[in-house]
Structure formats: C-alpha cells, structure tokens
Structure 1
Amino acid sequence: MKETDLAVGNTTVGLSRTLVWLMAIISGLVVANNYYNQPLLALIADELHVSESAAGKISVLTQIGYALGLLLIVPLGDKLLRKRLILIDLVLVIAALLWMTFARELWMLYVASLLIGATSVIPQLFVPIAAQLSNDQEKSTNIGLVMAGLLLGILLSRFFGGIVGDWWGWRSMFGIAAGIMVFVWFIIYKMLPEIHPNFKGSYKQLMLSVIELARTQPVLQLASFRGAMAFGSMSAVFTTLVFHMEQPPFQVGASVVGSFGLAGAVGALAAAKVGKLQTAIGTYRTILYSLLVLIGSWGFTYFAGETYWGLIIGIILLDLGVQGSHIINQTDYFTLKTDAVNRLNTVYMVSYFIGGSMGTWLASIAWQYAQWEGVCAVGATFGLLGLVAHLLLSRKIRLAAIKT
C-alpha cells in the first residue's frame, strides 16, 4: 500500500480563502442536522406521549450515529474521490431527514436519528483538507475557520430549531433541513474541486490502518481523550437544558431554550482565534487554559443555574473552553508525519462523539435522579477527567516523542 500526497487533478495545491469559507459555511449547515432535535425534545415527547428520558434517546442515537459515520465513512476520504463521496453521502442525509419529518412512531424517530447522525459527517471530510493543504503558518487559522463554521452550525441550530418548533412544529424543522441539504448538494457539485485519494488498499486494510493509528500514536490518543471529555461535558448541559427551563423559575418553551445557542456562539467565535494564542504561549498551556475555562463554567451553571445571567455566562465559557481545546487538539495530531489525515481525524472524532454520547446519556440519568445538580456534577466530572489526563500525560508524551 503506497500513500501519496493529496492532490487536485495531479498537482498538489494550496488552499484558497474562498474554499476555506465554503467549507466553513457548508460544515455549519450539515452538522446542524445533528442538533435541531435538542430544543425540540419536549415537543416530540408531548406529541408522541412518551417520557422526557425516552425522547432524550433521540439525541443519544444521533450522536452514536455520528460516531458510526465517522468510523465507517470518513476514512473513505483517503480511499475514494472526495467530492463524489460527499455528494453520495448528501443524498443519504436528505433521505434520513425526510424520514424524520414523516415518522409517526418513536422507533422510527430513533432509526431516522441514527441515520441522520451517521450521514452528517461531511464537515469531518473538510477538516483534513484544511489541515493538509495549509502551510504551517496558516494551519491553525484555517482549521479554526472551518471549525468556527461547524461550531456555529451546532449552536445556531438549537436557536433555529427552537423557533421553528414553536412556530410550525418540530416536523417542519427536519423538512426545512432536507431542503437546505438539496441546496448544499448543488453548491458542492458546482464549486468543490475533485480531490484524489491517497490510499490504494482495500476497505478492510483501510479500517485496520485506523486501528493501528489508534493503537500506536500517543499524541492522537491523548487528544482523543481530552476531546471526548470536553464534548461530553458540553453535551450534558445542552441535552437537559430544555427540561431544566421548562420548570420554575423559567417555565419557557423551545424557542427560548434554543436561543441559548446564541450565547454559545459567542464562545465559539472567540475560540476560532485560539490559533494566535497557541502561537504565543504554546500548545500545552493553550489546552490547559481551555480546560480550566470549561471547568470554571460549571460554577456558573451550578451556583447561578436558576438565573438567566448565570446560564448565559456559563454556556459562553463552556463553549469557549470546549472549542478552544478542540481546535488545538486537532492542530496537534495533524502535525504527525503521515498522509492518513482522514484516518487520524476518524480516531479523534469517533472518540469525541462517543464522549458526547456518554455525556448525553449520563446527564439524562442524572436528570432523572438529581435534576440540575446531577447534570452539573456530570459535566464538571467530564471536564476534570480531561484536565487530569492533560496534566499527567501531555509533557510525558512530548518528551518521549522527542527522544524517539
């Protein structure tokens, strides 16, 4: 198996600003499919006459589906023509969203959610492009811009989903999302250049190489664990926020809950500039400070969690910490000397969304038994685990890498 440089046509190319912005915008539109459901869970539970915990499984299954898509589809970016792979995947996204729109039973929503998650992985085919085609000076900046688009999609989807749900019902949101994906399909068909693969082996060999990277790359292993813990922490709050705010003293609907995505967007936009901070103080300290901000955010959500200002500040800081560490995690493992960029990203992002699924699941359980206090305990614990791993292992791994 011989791997070659990533190329458009037969010539290695750089990354234009127009293409970076295109990938950022499309990343936000596609990844939003995974998060429209979060402010709509109470509406879904009411219509189908099921419990809040049963409706909450829709979010869990979407994240599990995303992890499966990352594992099974994203590595194909190293093996197949990238543009063709994206266009085929988009057709599957549209079909899954339409199924969600017209589903009448809870099990159908579960299956549709799993499929939406599994197929909405296109942003993770864009991030390796931004990493591999950027020079060293622009790598963090370009990754940060694509990630900013993705993160704004995650956060604003909650705001948009909540408003559409209140005005026209939760089904309308998924129908609108299907229409947006049709538009995205045509944009990609017209504007994205074809990108040649760099892996010549079989699909089995491709997947075995993913396992090998996960087994043998300590930098990737640590980044994956930190990312999983950070995203698990963030998922805990956004999955249960709608249930928290249905109760006194708030007693508000999906549109108000979804608007908290705007608060998170402030943190996400600030995190997009984290590449400059990394240049000034280094990778270790940038991740350290990001994780400390994440943990500190739970102080606001716990001690001032019955007030709007406490939740707003907590969510801004939470998103700033999570996304800041996320961008630098990716910059860190993309410096490894390999052409297997999609497979590196697969290992990291599968871990990331497994962490998110764990955070969602444990927060749902915590909500049942301990309400908001239990959710805060889950979120803070995830952040602390990421910090402990960083403090204990980061410098040790770097020193070992220098010696070898």
Structure 2
Amino acid sequence: MVWLMAIATGLIVANLYFAQPLVGPISQATGLNPGAAGLIVTLTQIGYCLGLIFIVPLGDLVENRKLILCALALTALSLLAAAFSNSAALFLAAAFCIGLGSVAAQVVVPFAAHLSKPETRGQTVGTVMSGLLLGIMLARPVSSLVTDALGWHAIFVISAIGTGVLALVLRSKLPQRVPAHAMSYGALLGSMWHLLKTTPVLRRRAAYQFCMFGAFSLFWTTVPLELAGPAFGLSQTGIALFALAGVAGAIASPIAGRRADQGKSRSTTAMALGAGALAFAAPLLFTSGGYTAQLALLVCASIVLDMGVSANLVTGQRAIYALGAEVRSRLNGLYMSIFFMGGALGSLLGGWMFAHHGWHGVLLAGLAFPAAALAVYATEFTSSRNAA
C-alpha cells in the first residue's frame, strides 16, 4: 500500500511539470503571444495553490477515497483538453484545471500517514514523498524525450490515460476513510487561519521549506538556460539527462523519515538546510577547472540540493502530521501552499537574475534562500518553543 501511494503521488504531481519544457512549441501551436507564454506554467501553479487551500482540507471532512477519485477525474479530463487544444484560451483553462485536480497527491500523503503506525509514520511519509519528488524530477526530462519522439500532444494523452488507469487502481485498492468531523465547509476553511496562528511548529516548518523549495525552483528554472548556453552547449537531450541525474536526491526522503521517527528531527533539519547552502556555495567557490569538472560540479550540486529539499520536506511533514489526525489534511494544505509560494518566488527571481546578472547572480540569489532558512533555524536554540 505504501509503494502504491508513492507511485500514485509521483504520477499525479508530474502533471504539474510536463508543460514547463514545452512552453515554446505549445505557444506556437495554440497561437499564444510569446510575452504571455509564461502563463502556461503560472496558471498550473495557481490552480495547484488554490486546490491546496480549497480542496485538500476537504480530506478532514469528506470520505478520502472519493475525494481522490473526483480530483483524478478532473485531472484526466483536463489533460485530454490540453492535448487537443487548438486555442490559447482552451489550453490555459486546461492548464489551470490540471493544477487544481493534481492536488489529489496531497490528499494521498496525509491518507498514508493516517494508515501508518505512529512509530513508523516518518518512514512511511518519507517513502510516499520520495515517489512525489521522483515525479517532480522526472516529469521534465520525460516530457522533453516524449515530445522529441512523438510531439508535444503525446505527453498529455499518455498522462491522461495513465491518470485514468491510476484512478481505477486506487478505487480498487484504497480503503475508505470517513473523517469524524461534522463541521460545514465554511467553518473548515475558517479554521485554517486559526490553525496557522496557533501552530508554531507549522509556521516554522513551512518557513524552512518555503526557503528550500524557493532554492529548488530557482535552480531548476535557470540551470537549463545555463546548460544550453555557451559555457556548456548541451542539447535538450543532454539537459534531460542532467535532470535525470538529480533524481538521485530523492533517496534522502525515507532516510530523513526514519531519522525523524528516531527523534532526530533537529539534526536532520540542520543537515538538510546545510546541504541546500552547499549546493550553491560550491559552484560559487570552485570556479576553476575545465568543462568536465564544472559540469560534474553542477551535477553534484543538483543531487545535494535535491537531497536537502527532500529531507527537509519529509522531516517537516513528520512534525506536522504528529499534531493530530483530525486536522492533518488542513495542516498539509497550509504547509504545501506556503512552500509552493516559495517555489513560485524562486522561479520568478531565478529568471530575472539570470537575465540581468547571469549564472553568478543566480547562485548568489539561490544561496540566500537556505541562508535565510538557517537564520530561522538558529532561533530554535534561543526560543522556548520546541520546533520539532
């Protein structure tokens, strides 16, 4: 069941990233103005963030399996609409709905935590999140390779079919889970602000991951531009292979979850945030060496960064899921929506820094994110609150 949920979250969340390397061909095919091409990615992210706030909390109110299946149905239909879009307006509407439906992954994760034993909850969440992170990391290279072979429509058709099959499998395998709550939907949403105000662990862990996911998005938004530039001159296939190397960072998820189960959350957090800083500091400090050495350094930096992001994510989820099953979906929605805002900021800042200050400016901006997280982490030793 744990591995089924891990595969499910990876397949679902990959839908958010298939379009990112295809902005050019999609814009040309749908007649989208080049100046507005960024909306393809932005609207998907907006849909996902809104889903985190308005759909994921329903996991504390309605039967979880039904909620997951409804979201997957919306995703599959939206993927088909995207595949056969012949206008910019239709594709953008489909992109928004793809993001909205893909929050099914964030209903699955707290569901997995609910099914696990308390003493192994961190390891379970770590395994499921490793699947989610693999989906994020593999989506871009897979999308590029499929497009090279079959055209950009194919990836959306294939994913729509895969999402439909996944829905049937989950309908057969997942148990029902009916939450004990009887509150109204309005009261459920209203309680989220109260949870944010009164849960210091949530605020602290969300701040850490806001910074780490901002660094992650900044790096992966700009490194393809650097790799395709004169310094490296890689083709799209070469860039896809580079992205595949970064997938190795996902191995940190179950390890971090196991350490969190052992009561080592604080030291795991320190190592994760330190890894994020090292990933940007090393390319800044070691600028000598030839083509191969610099490319190898970037590959290592990508793996270290992904390890830090995945380890910090799982440690944070282990901490907030321990706060109570009755609020788990709402806490997860808040946690994920906050750190995805960090990702949006990182993508925006990375593109601007690369355009105006080059790769060196990107590395400096990227280093600022984990540095800020480490500054917040230092307050754990001066605050009377236990930040898990």
TM-score in same-fold range (> 0.5): yes
Q: Distance in 2 between matches of 1:399 and 1:356?
A: 26
- Contact 1:222–1:393, Cα closer than 8 Å, also in 2: no
What is the CA RMSD across the aligned residues, in angstroms? 2.4
Please say if residues 264 and 315 of structure 1, whose CA atoms lie closer than 8 Å, have aligned partners that are also in contact.
Answer: yes
Q: Which residue of 1 aligns with 2:302?
A: 315
More displaced 10-residue stretch of structure 1: 380-389 or 24-33:
380-389
**Counterpart selection for 1:365 from 323, 347, 352:** 352
Q: Check whether the contact 1:60–1:361 (CA below 8 A) recurs between aligned residues.
A: no
Equivalent runs, 1:215-364 vs 2, <5 Å: 215-278=197-260, 282-302=264-284, 307-337=294-324, 339-364=326-351
1:58 matched residue in structure 2: 40
1:203 aligns with 2:190: no
Distance 1:101 1:304 in 2: 44
Please say if residues 273 and 312 of structure 2, whose CA atoms lie closer than 8 Å, have aligned partners that are also in contact: yes
The structure 1 residue matched to 2:12, chosen from 27, 30, 41, is 30
What is the rounded CA distance, in whole Å, between the counterparts of 2:324 and 2:174 in structure 1? Answer: 26
Q: Which amino acid aligns with 2:86?
A: R
Displacement of 1:300 in angstroms is: 4.0
Candidates 36, 52, 57, aligned match of 1:70: 52
Q: 1:396 aligns with which of 371, 383, 386?
A: 383
Give the 3-state SS of the residue equivalent to 2:385 in structure 1.
helix
Counterpart of 2:50 in structure 1: which amino acid?
L
Aligned: 1:126 with 2:108: yes
Farther-moved stretch of structure 1 (33-42 vs 232-241): 33-42
Shift of 1:266: 0.7
Using the alignment, how far apart are the partners of 1:43 and 1:21 within structure 2? 35
Which residue does 1:114 correspond to in 2? 96
Mean Cα deviation higher: 189-198 or 45-54: 45-54
Identify the residue that residue 11 of structure 1 maps to in structure 2.
none
Superposition map of 1:178-197 within 5 A: 178-197=160-179
Does structure 1 residue 167 correspond to structure 2 residue 149? Answer: yes
The Cα shift of 1:340 comes to 0.8
TM-score by length of 2: 0.91
Q: For each residue in 1:353-391, what CA deviation from the matched residue of structure 2 results, as whole angstroms up to 9, or x when unmatched?
A: 111111112212222222323322332222211221121
Aligned partner of 1:77: which letter? G
Residue type at the aligned position of 1:119? G
Corresponding letter in the other structure for 2:59 = G
The CA deviation at 1:329 is 0.6
Distance 1:360 1:178, change over 3 A: same
Give the C-alpha shift of residue 66 in structure 1.
Answer: 1.3
Following TM superposition, by how much is the alpha carbon of 1:42 offset from its aligned partner in structure 2, in angstroms? 4.3
Deviation, 1:304, is: 6.5
Q: 1:191, CA displacement in angstroms? A: 1.2
Separation of aligned partners in 2, 1:316 and 1:213: 34
Q: Return the offset for 1:350.
A: 0.8
Q: CA deviation at 1:101?
A: 1.5
1:213 aligns with 2:195: yes
* 1:244 partner letter: E
Question: How far did residue 85 of structure 1 move?
Answer: 1.1
Distance in 2 (alpha carbons) for counterparts of 1:51 and 1:393: 48
Deviation at 1:393, TM superposition (A): 4.2
Equivalent residue, structure 2, for 1:377 = 364
- SS of the equivalent of 2:118 reads coil
Residue number among 60, 63, 67 corresponding to 1:85 in the alignment: 67
Letter in 2 for 1:378: A
Tell which deviates more after alignment, 238-247 or 198-207: 238-247
The aligned amino acid for 1:375 is: V
Q: Tell me how many residue pairs correspond in the alignment.
A: 383
Superimposed CA distance per residue, residues 298-345 of structure 1 (whole angstroms, 9 cap, x where no aligned partner): 134546697421221111001000010110011111222452110111
Paired amino acid for 1:323: S
Alpha carbons of structure 1 residues 200 and 110: separation in structure 2 relative to 1, 3 Å: same
Structure 1 53/382 Cα, relative in aligned 2: closer, same or farther at 3 Å? farther
Q: TM-score, normalised by structure 1?
A: 0.88
* C-alpha distance in structure 1 between counterparts of 2:87 and 2:279, whole Å: 38
